[in-house]
Amino acid sequence: MKNYFLRLYQYNQWANQRVLNALRQQAAANEKILSLLGHVAVAERLWLHRIKNLPKPDLKLWGCYTLNEISEMFSGIDQEWIDYIDSNEDFSSELKYTNYTGDPFVNTLETIIIHTANHATYHRAQVALLLRQDGLEPVNTDFITFDRIRLGQLKK
């Protein structure tokens, strides 16, 4: 599982950066887009804090963030996830936590890791749709594209 999770989070980091770069290049300033990406970055931070038993981060889950703030959040959290996964071997332990509204839950670390990456993919797809609606071009963030680039079959 560890190798799978590492690759999944390397993909997640790559996809987040591609979206951020596309937004910069096209000067996209849609507030919904920035809200979605900010939500992803904060959620990734929140989940990592939960599994590391750290205090809840002082960030709004649905805040108004600038593209620079979001980019800075992603630059830290994406690598922290990769480092966390790389430093662990067992992902079967259960985590008791409360969600953002205080409801108690129990999930395995494996489930949380999968959820967090899929959550980011879901919202990146929403960003792509919003870009198209604004007459801009979304960037390809397909996992297969990431893997083809990783294998040298495609250029970045």
Query: What is the model's pLDDT at position 156?
Result: 76
- Residue 101: its pLDDT value, please? 86
Residue closest to 51 by CA, chosen among 85, 17, 11: 85
Q: Give the CATH superfamily of 2-150.
A: dinb family like domain (1.20.120.450)
**Structure confidence at residue 112 (pLDDT):** 98
Domain spans in the chain, listed from the N-terminal domain onward: 2-150
- In the predicted model, what is the mean pLDDT of residues 15-24? 97
Mean pLDDT of all residues in 127-138: 97
Q: Confirm whether pTM is higher than 0.85.
A: yes
Q: What is the pLDDT of residues 86-118, one digit of tens each?
A: 999 999 999 999 988 889 999 999 999 999 999
pLDDT of residue 155: 87
d(CA 37, CA 17): 11
